[in-house]
Amino acid sequence: MVYAKPPLAGPKAVLAYLARYTHRIAISSRRILAFDGVRVSFRVKDYRRDEAGRPRIMTLSASEFIRRFLLHVLPRGFHRIRHYGLLTGSNRTAGLAHIRTILGVPAPPRPTADAPDPPDGPGQARPPCPCCGGPMTILGSFAGWHRPRGPPFRPTSNRAWTP
């Protein structure tokens, strides 16, 4: 049995709470106190000490600071947010079946061989175009790891671009 209650401050507060942990960087710029060209000083919390002694200032060489920072940078294609539990990718089918059994919900009907396929082929049903109502057409697709980019910015005049 799961005990869940609505959040006290609403769903936006829950989202803000989770965002602090899923989309934050290794160290915020306000924790960095000084950089003299050779060493970096920044605030840390030493959790091995009691509450009064936790906040400390650590000073590292610039190369060691960068090395430690880069330990937190993920390689291309990796994701920081992981899905786990009943709906994880490798366990999704079995997890959904288990959830349906617990809730007493029947599985959705499987398509039969005599059911007509959508006009684009099996499993290719797409919503109609929101502008004209006609069928949507796939013009291209990207590999899962590839992030499409727009064309490079080319200023139309000699003026410097400012946001």
Q: Is the pLDDT of residue 117 over 60?
A: no
In the prediction, which pLDDT does 39 show?
A: 95
> In a 3-state reduction of DSSP, which class is residue 89?
helix
Report the pLDDT averaged over residues 122-141: 74
Q: Are 134 and 144 in contact (CB under 8 A)?
A: no
- State pLDDT tens for residues 44-57: 988 788 877 788 99
- State pLDDT tens for residues 61-113: 999 999 988 888 877 877 766 666 777 777 788 888 888 898 888 888 876 66
Q: Is the pLDDT of residue 122 over 60?
A: no
Q: Are 40 and 32 in contact (CB under 8 A)?
A: yes
Distance of CA 63 to the CA centre of its chain: 29
Q: Is the pLDDT of residue 38 over 60?
A: yes
Pairing status of strand 32-35 against strand 55-61: unpaired
In the prediction, which pLDDT does 137 show?
A: 78
In the prediction, which pLDDT does 40 show?
A: 94
